[in-house]
Chains A and B, each alone.
Chain A
Amino acid sequence: MKTPLIVFDNFTFKYDAQVEPTLHDINLTLYEGEKVLILGQSGSGKSTMVHCLNGLIPYSFKGKIQGSLTIAGVDTLHTSIFQLSKIVGTVLQDSDAQFVALSVEDDVAFALENKSMPKKDMIPLVHYALNKVGMIDFLKQVPFELSGGQKQKVAVAGILHEDVKILLFDEPLASLDPVSNLRTVEMMDEMAQDGKTVIVVEHRFEDILHRKVDRVIVLEEGRIVFDGDVNRLLQEDILRKNGLREPLYVQALRMAKIDLKGLSLNQVQDVDFAHFKKQLSFLNDKHPLPPQKERLPLVEVKDVSFAYDPKKLVLKNISFKLYKGERLALVGQNGAGKSTLAKLLVGVIRPLSGSIEINGEDIKIYSIAEIANRIGYVMQNPNTMIVKHMIKEEVSLALTLRKYSADAIDKAVTEALTITGLESMSHWPINALSYGQKKRLTVASILALKPEVLILDEPTAGQDYRHYTEIMDFLNEINVSAGISFIFITHDIHLAIEYTDRALVFSDGSLIKDARIFDALSDQSILERASLTQTSLYTLAQKCGFEPERVIENFILHKGLYE
């Protein structure tokens, strides 16, 4: 009945540049029409597996292959990447890199052009594909006008040519807002309904579970450690054993010490939470509001508006206070004004009206560099910040530029390196660092200036759970030990729930909610306007008749104890 489509047979792959193989002795058969999720930490071999499936290995990445990989009856060693691209369509993580043409329709036609198809044959195919992904009204748009989610849809349309059998998604949810994530998951599901074999590599398991998954493969150090359905994966506690994030509803069930054997856990909707109402009742405990401590306002944004083009305000009358030691989340769609606000706070752009004060002083009299002594900005990708070759040089750069004395520089650098746990590596070259260490380094290079506030843009984007926890716990420590306030710009609701005290929700240039994250998330109209989504805890709360904000609060409270 089931036709094997992809067969790994004792497959081992070693990159030429490496000593050890990245994939060990893989034996795996994927069948036609299956929807498969591949999970694994960074370095577990997921990307390598994707490259093997789409032919970049051995075409672009050279290495040694043992065993065989057969796709649709063709041995990938004896075929070309072009032949393979007719069967396997890949959606890359970087949707900008994938959008190579200058308009939507041209981009969708790109693969067809490469096959030398005459124009008259291309038109219906391009229209069909764009209809499929719901982008037919955007035919003539240029990439610069599209959102990340829209670019991704175009990328999918671009690989949907007539005989492609396998759709391969490489971390499709990494840089989208929560609602776009759900739409992407739904779109992948529709493709599977159409009979395509869908293979997804993604960290955000809970988001993926928005639609049913047939099969999950877990990789660890280049070997398959699990191959089965979602139910078994969750019951056998595979995720925690391999440093991966469990869906929140499963974590909640575990906290309540509920035996998962025999339960249907495939999707949050399937779970009969009401049956365990008693065990879960701790999630509905009422806590007295913590006594209001005397809080010192650190940054005060007063009625700030901003526009690049005088006719169109990008930020409208924004007012809020950031207190000392507070952790704030800026959430909302791309283009809602979050990054513009960050730019205003660091002084790269200045308010059209209104004022920004630090400790009661208007920052308008200060230069960008002077503001940076008090508000630091850490960008998403560490590679866009690093300019030096040695760790010490990088951390001292801001101080050297300010012409501090050698002694003062030494002292500040040592301190910053100690806080960030990099002191033992201070004489290392930067290219020896991992991604997470580079992230620490960029934080250290900003901390050297002893700012009172750190703004972090998507600090954990594209990180697996272990690295995510590592980075966020590290930031939390700084928050406690150095009393630094944080502003996180993020799409990640989990991050906002677990690591921030308050959320500012932006929509279309306005600040539409300034509240504790639990309260913001329980307001349906706010969620809709800001393209946010409920987590599975909300469903749990509803099924048990609990107060959602209380459930989230208790969940966070107990999470510490449970781990």
Chain B
Amino acid sequence: MSRRFVINLVQGETYLQKLNGTTKLGLFLIVMVYTMMSFDLRLLLPLFILSWIGLASLKPNYKLILGLFGFIFFMNFVNIILYYAVNQDVGSSYLNGTRTVLIQFNSYWYLTIETLWYLSVRQFKMMTSFMISMVFILSITPGELASGMSGLKIPYKISTITSLAFRYIPEIFNDYETIKMSMQARGLELDKRRLNVFKRLKENLMILIPLIFTSFDRIGNIANALDLRGFGQGKSRTYYCEDPVTSRDKLFRGITILLIIFCISFMVYQNVNHFGMWFPFKI
């Protein structure tokens, strides 16, 4: 059953997986800031390459990853086409106003080098953040995420809720399947060949009622289980799944600090100098 998920519920044996939860979460957050802060291909390209190396080190199920990669690529590509359709000069507004027509399709439609560059970098940036997220998701377990969050001084009740969600969402999904089965047997038509989307949504509501009630029962039981096992007694709690901080964690934490310093200086510099994005084809 666990193999159906992309996420790992139990820690694996590879280099990145062995890192401490706080290290992973901290690094992930700063790398996301790094990706967000600029449209500079010189910054994004090394990260993209590194993320593939990171992914390879996790020995993932490539079929699944490439499928997801294709899907995300497609969704962002549609997004980019829309950007282009709305404003064919979108690139110029980011690239200090220059405008070099590359192809003139007809009297109305054209493509400028600036727009092509801007949109390509945009797509690349999205794919980089997708890759980073993938590496992060594959290298961490929900338990480690919870311990990582508490390591970053986030209240542990919040982090426990995230790991409880991972625990019980599959159970609720099973309940849904069972209820669906009994409702279908009573004559509820859910066949997509017979009904349109809205009708089906309406019919699905019928399943939701018992699902909500059984889930409430479940939540009540879980809440009692948490109380009975002393959850919430102290200001903090420890984590069994937390790995000890090793020299490799120190290395990665060092990198994280350097990245924080770099990102802050970059953003300050960018705001003071108001420079646009890096564009190698400036005429």
- Which residues in A have some Cβ–Cβ distance to B below 8 Å? 54-56, 59-60, 80-82, 85-86, 90, 92, 94, 96-103, 105-106, 109-119, 122-123, 126, 140-145, 158-159, 343, 346-348, 367-369, 371-372, 376-377, 379, 381, 383-387, 397-398, 401-402, 445-446, 449
Chain A binding surface, main DSSP class: helix
Nearest CB in chain B: distance from A556 CB, A: 32
A118 with B238: in contact, given A59-B227, A372-B186 (CB under 8 Å)?
yes
Check: B65 CB closer than 8 A to any chain A CB.
no
Q: Is A103's CB under 8 angstroms from B187's CB?
A: no
Q: For residue B170, which residues in chain A have a CB less than 8 angstroms away from its CB?
A: 144
Interface residues of B in 158-205 (CB under 8 A from A): 163-164, 166-167, 170-171, 175, 178-179, 181-189, 191
Q: Is A142's CB under 8 angstroms from B186's CB?
A: no
> 26 A-B contacts, Cβ less than 8 Å apart?
A60-B223, A60-B227, A80-B233, A85-B228, A90-B228, A92-B228, A97-B225, A100-B225, A100-B229, A101-B143, A101-B167, A102-B142, A102-B163, A122-B240, A126-B240, A142-B9, A158-B229, A159-B229, A348-B181, A369-B186, A369-B187, A384-B179, A385-B210, A397-B187, A401-B188, A446-B186
Interface residues of B in 231-283 (CB under 8 A from A): 231-234, 236-242, 244
A367 with B191: in contact, given A86-B230, A94-B221 (CB under 8 Å)?
yes
Q: Is A111's CB under 8 angstroms from B166's CB?
A: no
Interface residues of B in 39-78 (CB under 8 A from A): none
What mask results when residues 1 to 43 of chain B are scored 1 for a CB within 8 Å of chain A, else 0? 1100000011100000000000000000000000000000000
Q: Is A114's CB under 8 angstroms from B218's CB?
A: no
Q: Is B186's CB under 8 angstroms from A346's CB?
A: no
How many angstroms from the CA of A112 to the CA of B233 in the assembled complex?
11
Q: Is A114's CB under 8 angstroms from B237's CB?
A: yes
Instruction: Find A387's partner among B178, B206, B242 (CB 8 Å cutoff).
Output: B206
Check: B120 CB closer than 8 A to any chain A CB.
no
Give the nearest-CB partner of B7 in chain A. A102
Chain B contact residue count (CB 8 A cutoff): 56
Chain B binding surface, main DSSP class: helix
Check: B214 CB closer than 8 A to any chain A CB.
yes
Nearest CB in chain B: distance from A311 CB, A: 13
Check: B109 CB closer than 8 A to any chain A CB.
no
Q: Is A101's CB under 8 angstroms from B163's CB?
A: yes
Among A81, A98, A105, A387, max chain B CB count under 10 A is at A387
Give the nearest-CB partner of B218 in chain A. A97
How many angstroms from the CA of A160 to the CA of B140 in the assembled complex?
29
- Which residues in B have some Cβ–Cβ distance to A below 8 Å? 1-2, 9-11, 141-143, 163-164, 166-167, 170-171, 175, 178-179, 181-189, 191, 206, 209-210, 213-214, 217-218, 221-234, 236-242, 244
Q: For residue A385, which residues in chain B have a CB less than 8 angstroms away from its CB?
A: 179, 182, 210
Q: Is B244's CB under 8 angstroms from A85's CB?
A: no
Q: Is A368's CB under 8 angstroms from B185's CB?
A: yes
A100 with B184: in contact, given A144-B170, A387-B209 (CB under 8 Å)?
no
Instruction: Find A114's partner among B9, B167, B213, B229 (CB 8 Å cutoff).
Output: B229
Instruction: Find A383's partner among B181, B214, B240 (CB 8 Å cutoff).
Output: B214
Nearest CB in chain B: distance from A147 CB, A: 13
Q: For residue A114, which residues in chain B have a CB less than 8 angstroms away from its CB?
A: 229-234, 237
A377 with B179: in contact, given A85-B230, A111-B229 (CB under 8 Å)?
no
A111 with B187: in contact, given A97-B221, A97-B222, A384-B210 (CB under 8 Å)?
no
Q: Is A100's CB under 8 angstroms from B233's CB?
A: no
Instruction: Find B175's partner among A90, A384, A387 (CB 8 Å cutoff).
Output: A384
Give the nearest-CB partner of A80 in chain B. B233
Instruction: Find A102's partner among B141, B228, B233 (CB 8 Å cutoff).
Output: B141
Nearest CB in chain A: distance from B134 CB, A: 20
Q: Is B214's CB under 8 angstroms from A96's CB?
A: no
Nearest CB in chain B: distance from A91 CB, A: 10
How many angstroms from the CA of A402 to the CA of B171 in the assembled complex?
31
Instruction: Find B236's partner among A111, A116, A123, A159 (CB 8 Å cutoff).
Output: A116
